[in-house]
Structure 1
Amino acid sequence: MLLQLILWTTLLLESISAKDVYYDWHVTWVTAAPDGYERSVIGINNQWPCPQIDVDVGDRLIIDVHNDLGNQDTGIHWHGLHQYMTGYMDGAPGVTQCPIPPGRSMRYVVDVNQTGTYWYHSHRMGQYPDGLRGALIVHDPDAPFEYDDEFTLLLSDWYHEEMTPLIQSYLSENDPATGGLEPLPDSALVNDATNTTFPVEPGKTYLIHLIVVGNWPGFAFLFDDHEMTVVEVDGVYIDPFPVGSRNLRLATGQRASILLRTKDDTSKNYAFWTIMDINMMFIYENRTIPEGYNPNATAWLVYDETKPLPPAPPQYEFDFVDDLEFVPFDHEPLLEPVDHQIIMDFNSAAVEGGLTRFVINNHTYYEQQTPTLYSALMMDSHHTENNVSAYGAVNPYVVNYGDVVEIVLNDYHSNLHPWHLHGHQFQCLQRTIPNGGYFDGYFANISATPVKRDTLMVQGHGHFFGLIGFVRVWLFHCHIEWHVVKGMITTIIEAPDRLKDMEVPEDQLRLCGNYPFASELSKKPGKSRSKTGQMEPKH
């Protein structure tokens, strides 16, 4: 009885403290020069960098997004948030919604029931490398560690040219500027700037949220003469993991939170040093490093503004922490038994028309006019894995409600690829080193409590496999934007027989114009669909 009273009181307090957090965003072009080179970027409300979102666990995030770009449509994805029962708010045009055309608006409503480090970004044709991205931090009053203060640190590559012409060049195999290879970034940024400083006080513990919001290479980094302890990855608390003398690295789309204890005096300032992954950009692509090319960026922990900012420490060798060593704080055991196995072999290959695209099991991905979620909503409840062709060229895989799904990724490409799953975290069981070989059906050294992530790097000519405890339609894709536009995407369709009760808000369907599927979905009988999707926010 006492336990029931405690649980009831906890739920009551959470419901009282939960609140609606409202934003009104106009997506606009802005002029900025983050590394000294001026160019047009995509900002919010005529400002760039885009704002950080800060919410508490249990809040409801309500954002009205107005597309004022004039020349591009858009959509916003809430990277890492599960969107349980609200997959139509995932923000992936062509998958969970129609894109927001210029001059139109859409309301996103996101129930924030996770804690940790996330980010938001456009999921539309190269827009987030053009600037439409920002941090989303979910604060937890009951975090399993103590700290005095916190700040966020964004890492990204940066390009002096806008993404639209760069993508056109990349997709043209005969373009002498790229030869079919990814365009090289012009610089690396920390918090969308160079020479960034972070004021700190002596003798305090800081919780630092690290997010790689870039387009292509991953990042290695260190704080000079300061030790890091990892306490969260991709929104999952882990048992505190001291990094020691090793280095951390994060791939595009990955996040981590670390605890850092500052010095007890203010006698000097210290560098934060980071480098873009040279292997991804040059070594694995057999490309020569241009003379004078600088993949580094430096920021500083500033104890005393009157003291000089020291140079970055020399770094000649890297000993990276393997994130499969992390143990989730909840010690969730290995999911079993496995109900379904999906093996995905991916590589680049010539497709119909002779163009080179990325393929998964010999099939590439093309965005559909009808969003995949809408296709699933219109199908009957007996649509199974045997007739998935009705979804179109989206590399669909259908899984049943409650299935434990084992996903194997065999990377037949020479480079590394950070794979991101929408709507879920997966248990990470096994990953080979570069050139470590493809999955042969055997498992070795599997943790009884494997780390959980939503983004994981797969090594070239190696493999990864993980488990997912699956009810919606989700993308699973390489998070390198160059590879997204070339088709390295698949779609996981969960329990289509249970989608019949999902009601897409009318304001989303109106974005689809006069297409028949929008009219058909609008006529579906339902109990909860709002005619406008517009709810009055509580401030």
Structure 2
Amino acid sequence: MVLLVTLVVIAMAVCQAAAKTHTFFFETKWITANPDGVRDRQVISFNGSWPLPTIEVNKGDSVEFHLINGLDVSTSLHFHGLLQNGSNHMDGPVAVTQCPIPPGESFVYEFTVDQVGTYWYHSHSGSQYSDGLRGLFIVHDEEVESNYKFDKELVLSLSDWYHDPSEVLIQRQLSLYNPTGAEPIPQNTLINDTKNITFEVEPDTTYLIRIANIGIMSSQYLFFEDHDVDIIEVDGVYVHPARASMIYLAVGQRMSILLKTKSSASKNFGIVHALDISMLDALPADLQYVSVNQMVYDKSLPDATLKKEWLDIDSYAPFDDFELRPLDNMPLLPDPDHRIDVVLHMENLGDGVNYAFFNNYTYVAPKVPTLLTALSAPKEYVSNAKIYGSNTNSFLLSYGDVVELVVNNEDDNKHPFHLHGHQFQTIVRSEPYDDPHHYDPDAETKLPEIPVRRDTMIVEGNGHMVLRFEANNPGIWFFHCHLDFHLEQGLALTLIEAPLELQEQFASKELPEYFLHACKASETPYKGNAAANTKHWLDLTGENVQPPPLPDGFTFKGYVALAACTAIALYGLKCIYSYGMGDLNRSENVAAEERRMIRKLMLKLNQEQREMLSSSPSTVKKREEMRQMIEELEELDKRFRELE
């Protein structure tokens, strides 16, 4: 017994000696970049350099990440997939676990890494990471990695790319002129934040390739021409090797694969990645949705070129990640102690904007970050969901409970959902449907004995999924769609996990001064309920809430018509003013052409309204009709602004 204790003490001492503290000092700055070779745009750099670095640490290491905000807007940082067990205040989403970091201020993200695998870091302030504030975060562990044989290691990031900054994209998304909530279409795709990469490979060599989709909108397919791969990790969970010819990653998802090169090759091969175009409302003619990069055996041989069959996305058959099984063989958790059922849908509110909802509530950030409400609340109120706000979609969880989270999707698009603070078991994931199909537990006769675990998973259009996890990580954890346009539309909920235990965690340690300084500098209240009321905890007067609904009897179609007619009326008034007060020598032909254009659009809109009232077009047809109308309205709006 004495010998055993001695060995344990020695092992602990060796581990502590091997652990390191990694200290980083990064200042965010705007710089100009052109990663797709098409257009310059402003991106967010670290210390004037972009793309951002891949950070590599070992399990057990500590991180001190000093972030200095050199931007003209607020920011924050989230380490996607790291569970932050015991360090909930380091998780990063603004208004959930921290205050925004204002321009000119600093923040330190301090935590110990007790996981292994492939992760990434990104801004969690609005949709800011589409401006380039994102990078990979790799955690090594020799004991785990020794389960697999490989010779060399590579890192790949996939992303969509927009030429407009995030501020413009969100204005376009949450606009009166976008009543259907159609998401902006990307202009390009990137791999390792560039185009047309080349990997020189050696024969008879096994490569461990870590892959992450760090985009903001579209899932991506990836395959290596004439090469199969073995999947060995998803979202930080190592799995029994699974052979695949093609993989699929939603935004936020990660995967590690083993690729064994051929013993000899008479050609070079393509590394092909493609957007899931089914998620896009339109397919612009100039969008290169399939990209070919190079896996080079011999530089003297010609490069791989695009094949016609690769353009047929409908024929793609990626490996189904639902079939993966964790290496640790963790069995299905027992029947849930607590079930959360949410219904997802999209609709317009009284301000004309299209929002996303869980159970008829769209997420609206509270005045006080939810973690700070939990830490400042009296014990008699901390477990009362009401204090966290009417529009935060807050659910209370008790420590140790097995939690089942059911998502019923009534939208025809697929949604990748990410859970902070946990890796969940995916025990049900339906196929897509033409019409909404809610989860029926009585119809599920067989659940997987050893389910796949992830932190990001897609629910199919009009389908459902069921996630299960244990509430063993006290904290305030966000669950949200990682299509960040949808998060900006309010597609999120908040888990208030073991709040009494959370308060006990922080009873022996104070929040860092820099943490509270960010609140003071950004003028964000850091005590009180969601309305910043510190005296009457159940009084939410003045809290942030969603806009009122559309008036009774005011249909969606009617709203579109009103928006269109309003735009035309405003434009017409502007034209009258312009012609009456402007240059009297302006060409009558130009004026007549604009009048004909206005008249033509008005007649078209009137005709479409009559057709809408007399028919029930399919969802796909409706979205396409609305998109065309939106484009015409945007063009009108552009011309209107040019005249001002």
The question of a shared fold, defined as TM-score above 0.5 by the shorter chain, is answered with: yes
Q: CA deviation at 1:292?
A: 3.9
CA distance in 2, matches of 1:372, 1:5: 45
Q: Which of 347, 352, 363 is the equivalent residue of 2:345? A: 347
CA distance in 1, matches of 2:379, 2:402: 20
Q: CA deviation at 1:93?
A: 1.0
Contact residue 292 and residue 304 of structure 2 kept, 8 A: no
Contact residue 338 and residue 404 of structure 1 kept, 8 A: yes
CA distance in 2, matches of 1:416, 1:486: 15
Corresponding residue for 1:293? 287
Corresponding residue for 2:550? none
Q: CA deviation at 1:306?
A: 3.4
AA in 1 matched with 2:168 = P
CA distance in 1, matches of 2:437, 2:69: 46
Kindly provide the CA deviation profile for residues 320-356 of structure 1, in whole angstroms up to 9, marking residues without a partner as x.
Answer: 2211100011011111131100001011123354432
1:436-475 mapped onto 2 (5 Å cutoff):
437-442=437-442, 443-470=444-471, 471-475=474-478
Is 1:405 matched with 2:399?
A: no
Contact residue 118 and residue 235 of structure 1 kept, 8 A: yes
AA in 2 matched with 1:60 = S
Unaligned runs of at least 5 residues, structure 1: 522-539
1:178-257 mapped onto 2 (5 Å cutoff):
180-243=181-244, 245=245, 247-257=246-256
Contact residue 74 and residue 123 of structure 1 kept, 8 A: yes
Contact residue 373 and residue 528 of structure 2 kept, 8 A: no
Distance 1:47 1:4, change over 3 A: same
Corresponding residue for 1:277? 276
Contact residue 398 and residue 493 of structure 1 kept, 8 A: yes
1:89-238 mapped onto 2 (5 Å cutoff):
89-142=90-143, 143=145, 144-174=147-177, 180-238=181-239
Once structures 1 and 2 are overlaid, which stretch shifts more, 7-16 or 17-26?
A: 7-16
Contact residue 416 and residue 456 of structure 2 kept, 8 A: yes
CA distance in 1, matches of 2:217, 2:169: 13
Distance 1:270 1:11, change over 3 A: farther
Q: CA deviation at 1:318?
A: 1.4
Is 1:302 matched with 2:302?
A: no
CA distance in 1, matches of 2:266, 2:58: 36
CA distance in 2, matches of 1:280, 1:460: 10
The TM-score normalised by the length of structure 1 is 0.91
CA distance in 2, matches of 1:389, 1:362: 19
Matched position secondary structure for 1:484: helix
Contact residue 158 and residue 214 of structure 2 kept, 8 A: yes
CA distance in 2, matches of 1:34, 1:117: 23
AA in 1 matched with 2:441 = G
Once structures 1 and 2 are overlaid, which stretch shifts more, 377-386 or 44-53?
A: 377-386
CA distance in 1, matches of 2:343, 2:10: 50
Distance 1:62 1:172, change over 3 A: same
Calculate the aligned-residue CA RMSD, in Å: 1.9
AA in 1 matched with 2:151 = D
The TM-score normalised by the length of structure 2 is 0.77
Contact residue 409 and residue 463 of structure 1 kept, 8 A: yes
Contact residue 430 and residue 446 of structure 1 kept, 8 A: yes
Greater share of residues in strand: 1
Q: CA deviation at 1:383?
A: 3.4
Q: CA deviation at 1:509?
A: 0.6
1:429-440 mapped onto 2 (5 Å cutoff):
429-435=427-433, 437-440=437-440
Contact residue 429 and residue 447 of structure 1 kept, 8 A: yes
CA distance in 2, matches of 1:384, 1:45: 41
Distance 1:58 1:345, change over 3 A: same
CA distance in 1, matches of 2:366, 2:286: 43
Corresponding residue for 2:553? none
Contact residue 24 and residue 65 of structure 1 kept, 8 A: yes
Contact residue 373 and residue 527 of structure 2 kept, 8 A: no
CA distance in 2, matches of 1:302, 1:164: 39
Once structures 1 and 2 are overlaid, which stretch shifts more, 19-28 or 376-385?
A: 376-385
CA distance in 1, matches of 2:134, 2:519: 24
Once structures 1 and 2 are overlaid, which stretch shifts more, 310-319 or 322-331?
A: 310-319
Matched position secondary structure for 1:512: helix
Pick the structure with greater CA Rg.
2
CA distance in 2, matches of 1:30, 1:238: 40
AA in 1 matched with 2:19 = A
Q: CA deviation at 1:387?
A: 4.1
CA distance in 2, matches of 1:133, 1:390: 30
Once structures 1 and 2 are overlaid, which stretch shifts more, 11-20 or 93-102?
A: 11-20
Distance 1:395 1:303, change over 3 A: same
Once structures 1 and 2 are overlaid, which stretch shifts more, 379-388 or 35-44?
A: 379-388
Fraction of identical pairs, as percent: 40
Kindly provide the CA deviation profile for residues 288-324 of structure 1, in whole angstroms up to 9, marking residues without a partner as x.
Answer: x233432112222222333322114433421222111
Corresponding residue for 2:324? 326
AA in 2 matched with 1:509 = L
Corresponding residue for 1:536? none
Distance 1:476 1:387, change over 3 A: closer
Matched position secondary structure for 1:129: helix
CA distance in 1, matches of 2:438, 2:152: 44
CA distance in 1, matches of 2:327, 2:240: 5
Is 1:508 matched with 2:552?
A: no
Kindly provide the CA deviation profile for residues 125-155 of structure 1, in whole angstroms up to 9, marking residues without a partner as x.
Answer: 2211110000001111112212111111000
Contact residue 272 and residue 312 of structure 1 kept, 8 A: no
Q: CA deviation at 1:386?
A: 5.2
Distance 1:329 1:5, change over 3 A: farther
Corresponding residue for 1:537? none
Corresponding residue for 2:258? 259
Matched position secondary structure for 1:73: coil
Unaligned runs of at least 5 residues, structure 2: 530-644
CA distance in 2, matches of 1:304, 1:66: 45
Q: CA deviation at 1:516?
A: 8.3
Contact residue 231 and residue 256 of structure 2 kept, 8 A: yes
Matched position secondary structure for 1:128: helix
Matched position secondary structure for 1:304: coil
Q: Which of 502, 511, 522 is the equivalent residue of 1:499? A: 502
1:22-37 mapped onto 2 (5 Å cutoff):
22-36=23-37, 37=39
Matched position secondary structure for 2:500: helix
Distance 1:329 1:6, change over 3 A: farther
Contact residue 54 and residue 138 of structure 1 kept, 8 A: yes
Contact residue 382 and residue 497 of structure 1 kept, 8 A: no
Q: Which of 47, 50, 55 is the equivalent residue of 1:48? A: 50
